[in-house]
């Protein structure tokens, strides 16, 4: 079975999404790209995350979108994943969710501004992609456009999309941007949140490049 390790990793993170309240039921989808083989592995459509078997994780050809291997139907959002693997070399994993607060902001069709420095994990802000029917090439193109120079976007009246160099990074971005969407929702409920300036967000984005790495430099006190 090809890409068994990546298939198992997708199953593991799918369960984490449910356990940590980042998705419900069979909502959302996850994928990983294997650059060496030119294949992407993606969750199947409509199967409980706790019941998915490795052989049901579907392998697709990144270039053509054709199914190469798998005992189930691939996610309806496969084109929204594939477009990033085809045209962006910095993204090797994608997570799509319907998290409550991200979906709430997305239903307003507005961007998530720099309400907290953690937004910088995704970019200077998080754009909201224009609405399109789920599972369509139009939605894939809208998401790709909204995520230019960023690692997350909101999907109008739908949810959130996050990408990274690994599923661990994509998951972390998903979790933190959902947190920032909740902060924005709560802050807007009682007043007008102060938005961080562009230069501070640029500084945060630079600092996050080395976040968690050993030997990270700190200013002297």
**Catalytically active residues, by annotation:** 77
Distance CA 173, CA 216 (A): 20
CB 142 within 8 A of CB 214: no
Instruction: Count Cβ atoms within 10 A of the Cβ of residue 197 and give its class: 0-12 exposed, 13-18 middle, 19 or more buried.
Output: exposed
Element (H, E) at 61: strand 58-61
Distance CA 37, CA 5 (A): 14
What is the rounded end-to-end Cα distance, in angstroms, of the chain?
54
Distance CA 4, CA 39 (A): 12
CB 116 within 8 A of CB 177: no
């Amino acid at each position: 079975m090809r890409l068994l390790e990546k298939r198992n990793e997708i199953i593991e993170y799918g369960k984490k999404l449910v356990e940590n309240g980042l998705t419900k039921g069979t909502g959302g989808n996850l994928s990983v790209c294997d650059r060496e083989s030119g294949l992407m592995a993606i969750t199947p459509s409509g199967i409980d995350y706790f019941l998915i078997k490795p052989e049901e994780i579907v392998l697709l050809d990144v270039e053509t979108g054709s199914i190469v291997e798998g005992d189930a139907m691939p996610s309806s959002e496969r084109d929204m994943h594939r477009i990033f693997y085809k045209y962006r070399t910095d993204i090797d994993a994608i997570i799509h969710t319907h998290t409550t607060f991200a979906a709430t902001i997305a239903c307003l069709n507005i961007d998530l501004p720099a309400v907290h420095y953690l937004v910088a994990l995704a970019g200077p802000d998080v754009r909201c992609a224009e609405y399109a029917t789920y599972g369509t090439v139009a939605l894939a193109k809208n998401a790709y456009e909204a995520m230019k120079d960023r690692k997350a976007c909101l999907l109008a009246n739908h949810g959130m999309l996050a990408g990274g160099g690994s599923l661990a990074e994509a998951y972390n971005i998903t979790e933190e941007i959902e947190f920032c969407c909740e902060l924005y929702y709560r802050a807007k409920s009682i007043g007008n949140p102060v938005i961080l300036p562009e230069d501070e967000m640029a500084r945060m984005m630079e600092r996050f490049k080395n976040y968690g790495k050993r030997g990270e430099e700190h200013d002297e006190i």
